[in-house]
Structure 1
Amino acid sequence: MAQPAFEEIVEDFEFLEDWEDRYRHVIDLGKAMEPLPDALKVPATKVEGCASQVWLHMRPEGGIFHFDGESDAMIVRGLIAVLKALYDGVPMAELGQVDPMAELGRLNLQEHLSAQRSNGLRAMIERIREQA
């Protein structure tokens, strides 16, 4: 059920055997994202429960789910990029079929994130599910 962009990340992770290389790859994914306009960094888009500053802007367009995000922490910005690859472009009617924990489990992220980062990742997923 994962989007092609997410499948590409899974393939990259399979190629990168060392977790430090994977960590750098996640950071690079975040760096490659377009910055979120300051006008969208408002309380309504801010995600509570994250140790870092996190904003997610979600919008349906023509029945398709889209979102963008930003964080002041490089690794969190990378995690947003991973979630964007997982969710962006999914038809609204199919959002409930995405199992984010199973999909992210394919990357073994949970094993390598601090408790704070894991909590923040869960908070971002919850926000996406609430908004969707």
Structure 2
Amino acid sequence: MASPAFEEIVEDFEFLDDWEDRYRHVIDLGRAMEPLPDALKVPATKVDGCASQVWLHPVIETGRFHFDGDSDAMIVRGLIAVLRALYNDLEVVEVPQVDARAEMARLGLHEHLSSQRSNGLRAMIERIRSVAAEHA
């Protein structure tokens, strides 16, 4: 059920031979994102459970889910970009149906992230799912 944007990331990863290249690609995805305005970096948008500072700002319009995010860690910004590709523009009722763990496993991320980063990724996914559930 992955979006075309996420499928594009999967295809890009297939062409990258080693984890260092993939890691750099994730960071590049984060660099390409617009920064979250400081006015949105507030306690309500902060994600607890992450080793670095993480903010997710969800917006639901006409039944579609969208979020922007930011982090003070480049790899985490990249993970936010990957999650945006996975979830943005889905119908809000579709968000909880996404098996994020399985989709992210297609990228091989869990094997190469520290336990702290993996916990942070889980916390971001949980926040996305809970916000969508509130609006479904």
Give the alignment's TM-score, normalised by structure 1.
0.98
Q: Give the Cα separation in 2 of the matches to 1:79 and 1:124.
A: 9
Mapped to 2, the partners of 1:111 and 1:60 lie a distance apart of 32
Number of the residue aligned with 1:7: 7
Alignment of 1:124 onto 2:124 = yes
Amino acid at match of 1:31: R
1:69-111 superposed Cα distances (whole Å, 9 cap, x missing partner): 0000000000000000000010112112111001001001000
4+ runs deviating over 3 angstroms: none
3-state SS of 1:22 partner: helix
Q: CA RMSD in A?
A: 0.5
Does residue 16 of structure 2 align to residue 16 of structure 1?
yes
Identity of aligned residues (%): 79
Q: How many residues of Structure 1 are paired with residues of Structure 2 in the alignment? A: 132
CA distance in 2, matches of 1:41, 1:78: 17
- Residue of structure 1 equivalent to 2:60: 60
- CA deviation after TM superposition for structure 1 residue 57, in Å: 0.2
Look up the equivalent residue of 1:63 and give its one-letter code. G
Which 5+ residue runs of structure 2 have no aligned equivalent? none
Taking structure 2 as the reference length, the TM-score comes to: 0.96
User: After superposition, where does 1:40-79 map in structure 2 within 5 Å?
Assistant: 40-79=40-79
1:17 offset after TM fit, Å? Answer: 1.3
Pick which of 67-76 and 86-95 moved more: 86-95
Give the secondary-structure state (helix, strand or coil) at the position aligned to 2:93.
Answer: helix
Name the SS for the 2:126 alignment partner: helix
- For 1:120 and 1:7, locate their aligned partners in 2 and report how far apart those are by CA, in whole Å: 23
Partners of 1:29 and 1:62 lie apart in 2 by 27
